[in-house]
Amino acid sequence: MYKDILLPIDIAYESSWKHSLPVALEYAEAFGSRIHIMTVVSDSGMAILTQYISKDAVKKVIEETKESLRRYVELNIPDKFKVQKIVTTGNVYESIINTAKKLDIDLIIMSAHRPELKDYLLGPNSARVVRHSDRSVLVVRG
């Protein structure tokens, strides 16, 4: 039923994957799915920063993020699973939606978090993905 599962995470925040990773692994095992695990290097404020830092510094951040994602997968996902690691840059929820379309993802699995006041006004990334994606989205609450 689900051949390709997208699991967006923020490596730095365990709350972004603590509850969703076990669910993604369970689904992948049940359906023989491939897991596409992704993280996004947010570009918010990047245009301003690039005025003050070199483009090489931005490339270094992306390369370090790729290495962090590789280590994360090595430590948290058993070898029996088929995994594709993806690092994108840009707006978080738009990157998730665009990646899901590009890879023809069947299911996006995301963690929810306790919203702050600003999230009620703007909407957290998981809520925006749910509202705007044309893919099935499973939001896992902790």
pTM for the full predicted model: 0.88
- For the chain, give every domain's residue range: 4-140
Nearest CA-CA partner of 31 in 5, 56, 6, 62: 5
Q: What was the pLDDT predicted at 102?
A: 98
CA–CA gap between residue 68 and residue 87 (Å, rounded): 10
Residue 36: predicted pLDDT: 98
Asked whether residue 123 carries a pLDDT value surpassing 60, the answer given is no
For residue 120, pLDDT beyond 70: no
In this prediction, residue 74 has a pLDDT band, given cuts at 50, 70 and 90, of: very high
Cα diameter, the chain: 49
Q: Is a pLDDT exceeding 60 seen at residue 1? A: yes
Asked if the model's pLDDT at residue 121 lies above 60, the reply is no
Strand 82-90 and strand 107-111: the pairing is: unpaired
- Please write the tens of the pLDDT for every residue from 14-34: 988 999 999 999 999 999 999
Selected residue with higher pLDDT from 45 and 86: 86
User: Which CATH number is associated with domain 4-140?
Assistant: 3.40.50.620
